[in-house]
A = this chain, B = another copy of it.
Amino acid sequence: MSEHITDFSRLAVHTQTNKPWSLAECLENYGTAGITAVSIWRNVIAPIGIGEAARLVKSSGLAVPALVRGGFFPAASESGRQAALDENRQIIDEAAALGAEMVVLVVGAVPGIPLADARQQVQDGIAGVLAHAESAHVRLAIEPLHPMYAGDKSCVTTMKQANDICEALQHPLLGVAVDVYHVWWDDQAQAEIARCGANDWLFGFHICDWRIPTRDLLTDRALMGDGCIDIAEIRGWVEAAGFDGYNEVEIFSEEQWASDQVDYLARIKHAYLTQS
């Protein structure tokens, strides 16, 4: 079991958690709330452009653990796979512009491509952009997704599969982002998190909760404590693996997005201290 969290020094919030807010609103409200780090989703960059986004972030003083999200490597055609490489190189450049530590990779899946073949395409795709990540000094973090996304979002559904790709490619800028929502059910999660630690490639840790019942596959995640995940236990595994980065709150929730966001941010802070 991990120690209780006693302050907000390691708290980061994903912009998508407060989806109603623009990037500027996220930065202002997080800063006011004493939150020192933000992970940025590309949708909040799109309306203002990467130059303006980078300027806002820099003047806010907030740290940026991650830009979310690159990946989606598998494609039915060679040209499709090539387009994915180009897109990922652009995302890496955006991460560098924002001063983000890492790009989170949602690796992709395509109906009709067997999952094992898709994972090979993911490995080849990552191999194809590592030199670019190197020149931009940006880490790449494979995020295994819950198996309910295996059809169209991620052929990597377990920590083991993510670790196997990292092991095959062996690059100091390639690692794994652990999200409790995606891995809590997996009886191999603890062992594979330890494997991340042993290899020094545990780059990110995302928290939220699994609501019961879950009413939507995409947008019904719960605030920490409002679901069935033992978040502190998994945080203990991550910390035992040597992780000392940010605990990133990443919650997609129509219910919470419909609430007052300033109030919600206060509830996030409370849940972070008491339920994580």
* Contacts from A to B (Cβ < 8 Å): 111-112, 114-116, 146-148, 150-152, 157-158, 161, 184-187, 210, 212-215, 217, 227-228, 230
Contacts and interface: CB of A to CB of B under 8 A. Distances in A.
B212 A185 contact: no
Given A157-B185, A185-B157, A217-B214, A228 B146 contact: no
A16 B255 CA distance: 31
Given A147-B147, A151-B212, 16 more contacts: A111-B212, A115-B185, A146-B147, A147-B148, A147-B185, A147-B186, A148-B148, A148-B217, A150-B185, A151-B214, A151-B228, A152-B213, A213-B217, A214-B217, A215-B217, A217-B217
**Number of copies of this kind of chain in the complex:** 2
A148 B146 contact: yes
A210 B150 CA distance: 10
A228 B149 CA distance: 12
A212 to B, nearest CB: 5
Contacts of A151: 210, 212-214, 227-228
B212 A152 contact: yes
A77 B65 CA distance: 43
A115 B187 contact: yes
Nearest to A161: B187
Contacts of A115: 185, 187
Shortest 4 CB-CB contacts between residues of A and residues of B: A150-B185, A111-B228, A147-B185, A148-B148
